[in-house]
Amino acid sequence: MQTDSRIVVRPARLADGRELIYFDDADTTLPPERAVDERELDPRPVTAQMRQDALTGEWISIAAARQNRVFLPPADLDPLAPQRPGNPSEIPSVYDVAVFENRSPSFGPQSATDAPSADALASLRRIGLERTLPSVGRCEVVCFSPEHEGSFGTLSRSRARTVIEAWAQRTAALSALPGVEEVFPFENRGREIGVTLPHPHGQIYAYPYVTPRTERLLAAIDAYGPTLMADLLGHERRGPRVLLAGEHWTAFVPFAARWPIEVHLLPDRHVPDFAETTLAERDELATLYLRLLRGIDRLYDTPTPYIAAWHQAPVHERRDDVRLMLQLTSPRRAADKLKYLAGSEAAMGAWIGDVTPESQAEALRAAIEGVEA
């Protein structure tokens, strides 16, 4: 993959052996030295267990250690802030962007012992009763800023570019781990989504299987043909729901949006994941993505909760068919109303939209107009 030499990467380790990587902005003011993590930490939890749902074939990770994670701490006990007296947080030094292994992961810390193979993928898809496997893989936290509050949309353009570089480099690194089948960068924003830390951050999951949502996409590609994603993007670019179009990326409200606010953002050429984007594509994305997020926040007087999900191609299959895609969704259907998943959506997966995608696209375009990154 291409790496941006302007953004310096500084690897380190936490006191319990977890990996910590600092990504310094191109225009950083930080010195190169980083403090050592001198905490005394308990041993890491054992790797969780996956159980297969025989009715769907889906794998469920039972990660009981996550019950003890921090919940809405005060600013002086922020676990993602730089360490200082009275706050023995996860990051020893002041930073621009920091990535580290989650202390209470859903997948890992154990890695697979065997190299991936077609037989391994076929075995994961086989259905049986009371099938279990270790939840191998990796869960990483991506801290966007040392500030206590904020989100990706509140970052400077330089900092946004650093986060995107971290996504690209960590996608490449995690894809190379034994047993990893899919890599998923994402950001949860807002208490309404269930966020337990207001600190501006996202996460990256490295799954030991191809996720159910991607399996559904692969089935759709099989039914339509390998040009599905290219054809869909070309159709949307000519339609009424486009929000932003740059030299390399296009954002639009999808034709069959499920959520009151739903936006998809794709590269204009086929790119399977962040690791295979060019530096020019990452540069433009830093600007367009900030404009998009800030526009969404202009819809109402208060910040809008969302899940920003970066879907990437599976690591070992169908990389010529599946294109990198952001799917940003929000349950906010009015200034003081949320969409809750009730019987039809939650139980049956049969969605009912609250607003037309065309009217929401018009409102989003008006909100984005005039926003600068």
Is there a catalytic annotation at residue 201?
yes
Q: What is the DSSP string of 247-302?
A: SSEEEE--TT--SSEEEEEEESS--SSGGG--HHHHHHHHHHHHHHHHHHHTSSSS
User: CA-based diameter of the chain, in Å?
Assistant: 59
CA dihedral sign of residues 241, 161, 272, 204: negative
Q: Which helix or strand (DSSP H or E) is residue 212 part of?
A: helix 212-224
CA nearest 149: which of 191, 201, 79, 186?
Answer: 201
Contact 297, 304 (CB under 8 A): yes
The Cα–Cα gap between 320 and 322 comes to: 6
Show the tokens assigned to 94: 């002041």
* Residue 364 Cα to chain centre, angstroms: 22
Rg (the chain; Cα; Å): 20
Looking at 199, 201, 248, 270, which residue is catalytic? 201
Supply 249's token pair: 């990326």
Query: What DSSP string runs through 24-59?
Result: E-TT----S---------PPPPPPPEEEE-TTT--E
The token duo for 89 is 């947080």
Q: In degrees, to the nearest 5, what angle opens at C-alpha 343 toward C-alphas 127 and 355?
A: 115
Which H or E element spans position 168? helix 157-175
Catalytic center residues: 201
